[in-house]
């Protein structure tokens, strides 16, 4: 997707601050985080990043600068006009002896010399170097636009990954809270039993230890979630101390195909920029080759010259008038510098091809690796959702049996452990699949 299209997509959501609702992750129940000052959706986060990103602003400025430089005048193809003026005052000692026997001798003779020149020049021919330079300037402009597009894609990918990392961390909190509810229920049952003389202090102490451990785990996870929020705020170029709440789900696109991603690698902004670099280097070869051709320039000027002295044979000399002419410069020998510059430019062109091939190789390998992660996560996701649902049912059932004295404390703790592990695996699989999807779309230039 082009940089302008992406910016237009999000321009209407730059200043929206909408409240959104829903569990932190589909299929995982639990209370969300407490309401904070700023509620962010994904679209708002992306729009804020596109608006505030320093990196995007720098890339936009580079596009603007290269657009300004893309001009025939910068390439040397337009006429030049210059006005030059000098005025010199002097005091001299004059001694002249003329052929008629007259002698002139004077000390401290004042003199004045004034020169004014309005000159214009026009390049007529220089081996089409101007044409090559103008095309190179255009390629630099196009390349900077692709760099901007790449920066936009990278920023969107970074924001989405950071945003869903916050969702992941909040989902861990929900899982821990559900387990805490189970531990509180277990402790409540044991206290009722103790009052009836059916439980001992050891069981209660162990239940309290388990509950305290879960509460400590919750505090640690809340800290991790807050760190993830701070990183997201940094990505959005917002005050890292800002209070923010996110309530969202991780929804994975299940229809991505590796073949379509690989087919679109050529549309990647970095690959496009590498293509432009190849053309830039090819045009530099043409520019350096043109140095060996003759240069023809048309020159015209209007001159004013006034020379006045207080003594001497000529007391006043004034010349006014136009002039015009053609200058031909033919390079004959300069120590083979032009030839060597062209050879070096040709090597740079070969390197540009190799750099593009390297990018294609790396992006292809990265696409395959990301797709393997994506496919593996998708394949495991459905099974893990069932495991999570079963583990939740098992925890509820074990608590009921524990209340009826049909299950032991060990059974409850094992059910809790299974539930927590199933929740963590489900969250991680969901996040891994989404992160791989984001990277695949970034690589194929389809992120939006």
The yes-or-no verdict on residue 415 having pLDDT over 90 is yes
pLDDT in the model for residue 116: 95
Domain identity same for 196 and 254: yes
Angle at 147 between CA 141 and CA 151, to 5 degrees: 145
Q: Which DSSP helix (H) or strand (E) runs through 122?
A: strand 103-125
Q: What is the number of structural domains in the chain?
A: 2
Residue 172 and residue 94 in one domain = no
Query: Residue 105 — pLDDT band, cuts 50, 70, 90?
Result: confident
Whether 159 and 99 share a structural domain? no
133 occurs within a structural domain: no
Q: Could you say which of 329, 352, 372 is where a domain stops?
A: 329
Q: Is residue 23 part of a domain?
A: no
Same domain, 306 and 234: no
CB 270 within 8 A of CB 362: no
Does 401 share its domain with 290?
yes
Residues 269-321: tens digit of each pLDDT = 999 999 999 999 999 999 999 999 999 999 999 999 988 887 766 788 888 99
Check whether 19 has a pLDDT greater than 60.
Answer: no
> Is 1 within the bounds of a domain?
no
105 and 148 within one domain: no
Classify residue 439: in a domain, yes or no.
yes
Does the pLDDT of residue 28 top 90, yes or no? no
**Could you please report the per-residue DSSP string of 400-424?**
HHHHTTSS-HHHHHHHHHHHHHHHH
31 located within any domain? no
> Which residue segment(s) compose the domain that 323 sits in?
82-125+296-329
258 belongs to a structural domain: yes
Considering the domain architecture, whether residues 68 and 212 belong to the same structural domain is answered as yes
Distance CA 47, CA 160 (A): 11
Q: Does residue 439 share a domain with residue 418?
A: yes
Query: Of the candidates 282, 307, 329, which is a domain's last residue?
Result: 329
Pair 143, 225 in one domain: yes
CATH number at residue 70: 1.20.1600.10
Domain annotation covers residue 339: yes
Confidence of residue 107 (pLDDT cuts 50, 70, 90): confident
Question: Would 132 be classed as within a structural domain?
Answer: no
**Boundary of a domain, candidates 312, 329, 346:** 329
For residues 273 and 285, state if they share a domain: yes
Residue bearing tokens 């049952």: 189
Same domain as 300, residue 264 = no
38-42, 194-198, 367-371: the lowest-pLDDT one:
194-198
Domain co-membership, 150 together with 51? yes
Q: What is the pTM of this model?
A: 0.81
């Amino acid at each position: 997707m082009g940089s302008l299209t992406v910016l237009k997509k999000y321009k209407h959501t730059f200043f929206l601050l909408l409240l959104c609702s829903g569990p932190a992750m589909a299929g995982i129940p639990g209370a969300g985080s407490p309401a904070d000052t700023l509620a962010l959706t994904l679209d708002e986060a992306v729009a804020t990043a596109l608006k505030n990103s320093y990196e995007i602003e720098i890339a936009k400025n580079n596009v603007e600068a290269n657009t300004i430089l893309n001009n025939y005048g910068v390439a040397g193809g337009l006429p030049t006009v210059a006005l030059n003026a000098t005025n010199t005052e002097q005091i001299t000692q004059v001694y002249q002896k003329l052929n008629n026997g007259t002698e002139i001798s004077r000390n401290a003779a004042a003199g004045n010399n004034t020169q004014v020149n309005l000159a214009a020049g026009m390049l007529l021919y220089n081996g089409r170097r101007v044409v090559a330079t103008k095309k190179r300037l255009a390629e630099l402009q196009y390349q900077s636009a692709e760099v901007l597009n790449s920066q936009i894609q990278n920023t969107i990918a970074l924001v989405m990954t950071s945003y869903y990392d916050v969702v992941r961390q909040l989902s861990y909190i929900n899982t821990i809270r559900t387990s805490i509810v189970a531990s509180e229920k277990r402790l409540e049952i044991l206290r009722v039993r103790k009052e009836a003389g059916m439980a001992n202090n050891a069981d209660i102490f162990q239940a309290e230890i388990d509950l305290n451990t879960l509460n400590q785990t919750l505090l640690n996870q809340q800290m991790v979630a807050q760190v993830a929020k701070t990183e997201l705020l940094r990505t959005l170029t917002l005050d890292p101390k800002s209070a923010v709440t996110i309530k969202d789900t991780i929804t994975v696109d299940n229809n991505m195909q590796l073949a379509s991603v690989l087919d679109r690698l050529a549309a990647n902004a970095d690959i496009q920029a590498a293509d432009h670099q190849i053309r830039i280097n090819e045009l530099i070869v043409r520019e350096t080759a043109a140095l060996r051709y003759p240069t023809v320039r048309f020159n015209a000027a209007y001159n004013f010259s006034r020379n006045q002295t207080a003594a001497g044979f000529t007391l006043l000399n004034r010349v006014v008038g136009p002039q015009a002419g053609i200058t031909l410069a033919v390079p004959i020998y300069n120590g083979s510098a032009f030839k060597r510059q062209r050879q070096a430019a040709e090597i740079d062109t070969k390197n540009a091809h190799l750099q593009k091939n390297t990018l294609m190789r790396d992006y292809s390998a990265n696409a395959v690796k990301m797709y393997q992660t994506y496919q593996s996560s998708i394949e495991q996701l459905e099974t893990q959702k069932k495991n999570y649902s079963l583990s939740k049912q098992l925890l509820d059932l074990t608590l009921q049996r524990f209340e009826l004295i049909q299950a032991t404390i060990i059974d409850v703790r094992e059910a809790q452990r299974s539930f927590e592990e199933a929740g963590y695996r489900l969250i991680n699989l969901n996040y891994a699949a989404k992160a791989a999807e984001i990277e695949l779309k970034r690589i194929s230039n389809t992120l939006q």
